[in-house]
Amino acid sequence: MYNLILLTEHINRQPFKLYGNVKFKRIIFKNNPEKTCLKIDDEEYGSYLFTSYYIGVDWITEKDAVFVQPKINNGAIEVDFLKMLMECMQQPGVLEETKDLFEIKFDAEPIDIKQKEDLLTPLLVIQFLTVLKKIVRKGIKKSYYKVEHNLNAKIKGKLMVGNTVKKNVLNNRPLKNYCTYQEYGYNGLENQLLKKTLMFVCRYLAMHKYLNHSLKHLLDYCLPAFEEVDEKIDISTLQKIHFNAFYTEYKEALSLSNLILKRFGYTINSINKNELIKTPPFWVDMSKLFELYVLGLLRNKFKNDVLYQFKVGSGNELDYLLKTKNNEMVIDAKYIPKWKNCIVHENVRQVSGYARLKGVYKELSKTYPECIDCLIIYPDIEEGKDKIEKLKNDWVPVDEYYGVYKLGIKLPIIEFPKKFQ
């Protein structure tokens, strides 16, 4: 048995009791020392935990695990982070950015959590179905694949002498020949792996009514395309798969397939309705998810006039640079709810510094000392805007600064109809 410590994201000081020996002082995201998921401080009167904008499950000692939950909830209101992911992934170019959204530690000991607390599997499922939809829309690929058949009175490809003797000659079937040869069609290794994963996803969603209701349209779109594809594939053949540059989505889909199958130990029988499930330690970057969600809202309004992660020189990367005829500005997404009631001056200094970069002036065809406006977008689940408008009248000027605005954005809310509870 072990001790599971329940926390929420962005806690500055939480006392706790440990039953094991602490071997590290912080957990970092994807080995990046600048991204701290959790920190442990020892003080005179005890130990304290500090969390950042990451949610997930992980070990902190051999006897203690921590589960960090989303914080932006208000009573009965719960933010639908999965819908955020689904909506932003509909925009071109967003899918490629989701690889930096989470980290999974398959080599570590699994941790028991409640089924309803499993944030990892839905994230993987949504990503997989979204990529698969793109593949199906383009058309699943045909390829050459090896088959084995017991042919009647003919030989095709390579004669399998051992099987022919064992299954035919010794059973008094002299006209039969066991052969292996290649066929060209949809039943290649890549499609078989995708079909196998799709069957896992179908079973998983059937046990989670709310998710099934939300993702049914994706399942209905993808399933018919794989009717001619087998799902009985040897996972060890994954290393034999070669990627075609024309089918760029296949690489991402197969990577997600491997993660999903690994998540369930490659056996569909491990998907069950148990209250407790075993999950590998994982972390999800909520600030990155919010950044991608805002990107989707900006692209809905301004299309390709929004440049994402615009790089200037070395070490300067803007979240977004807007370059429309009437709105040219630097935009930053901050997953910081307190922006609703106060000013985070450090954020203003950061975005203002971006607006002074020579590369930004050049991209916007402006000349110094002309002022470039700045906009900071933050989450506001109660009074925020459902979408981003073009007019500055909808944006709130930030007191104490010229040309700096803020905009609260509503996040999707989970609504559980009674029939799905």
Q: Is the pLDDT of residue 419 over 50?
A: no
Query: For residue 376, what pLDDT band results from cuts at 50, 70 and 90?
Result: very high
Structure tokens at 147: 């088959």
Lowest-pLDDT range, 13-22, 28-37, 239-248, 322-331? 239-248
User: What pLDDT does 62 receive?
Assistant: 86
Average pLDDT for residues 386-414, to the nearest whole number? 86
182-199 pLDDT per residue, tens: 999 999 889 999 999 999
Lowest-pLDDT range, 160-169, 229-238, 250-259? 229-238
Rounded to an integer, what distance in angstroms lies between the CA atom of residue 231 and that of residue 219?
A: 16
User: What pLDDT does 165 receive?
Assistant: 92
Query: For residue 418, what pLDDT band results from cuts at 50, 70 and 90?
Result: very low
User: What pLDDT does 158 receive?
Assistant: 92
Q: Is the pLDDT of residue 107 over 60?
A: yes
- Domain limits, the chain: 1-71, 111-140+188-279, 143-185, 286-409
Structure tokens at 392: 């500055």
Rounded to an integer, what distance in angstroms lies between the CA atom of residue 397 and that of residue 400?
A: 9
- Mean pLDDT of the residues in the chain: 85
- Three-class HEC string of 7-36: EECCCCCEEECCCCCCCCCEEEECCEEEEE
Q: Is the pLDDT of residue 417 over 60?
A: no
Residue closest to 57 by CA, chosen among 48, 66, 49, 70: 66
Q: Is the pLDDT of residue 18 over 80?
A: no
Structure letter (DSSP) for residue 53: S
The more confidently predicted of residues 210 and 382 is 382
Rounded to an integer, what distance in angstroms lies between the CA atom of residue 249 and that of residue 96?
A: 10
User: What pLDDT does 169 receive?
Assistant: 92
Rounded to an integer, what distance in angstroms lies between the CA atom of residue 414 and that of residue 166?
A: 60
Average pLDDT for residues 263-270, to the nearest whole number? 64
Average pLDDT for residues 263-275, to the nearest whole number? 63
Rounded to an integer, what distance in angstroms lies between the CA atom of residue 28 and that of residue 130?
A: 28
240, 150 Cβ separation under 8 angstroms: no
User: What pLDDT does 382 receive?
Assistant: 83
Query: For residue 258, what pLDDT band results from cuts at 50, 70 and 90?
Result: confident
59-75 pLDDT per residue, tens: 988 888 999 987 765 55
83-95 pLDDT per residue, tens: 888 888 877 777 7
Rounded to an integer, what distance in angstroms lies between the CA atom of residue 142 and that of residue 257?
A: 19
User: What pLDDT does 100 receive?
Assistant: 85
Structure tokens at 339: 């922006």
358-367 pLDDT per residue, tens: 999 999 999 9
User: What pLDDT does 73 receive?
Assistant: 55
User: What pLDDT does 421 receive?
Assistant: 45
Lowest-pLDDT range, 23-37, 76-90, 275-289, 393-407? 76-90
Kindly state the greatest CA–CA separation across the chain: 94
Q: Is the pLDDT of residue 348 over 80?
A: yes
Residue closest to 38 by CA, chosen among 64, 9, 61: 9
Lowest-pLDDT range, 85-99, 144-158, 210-224? 85-99
Lowest-pLDDT range, 16-25, 139-148, 257-266, 394-403? 16-25
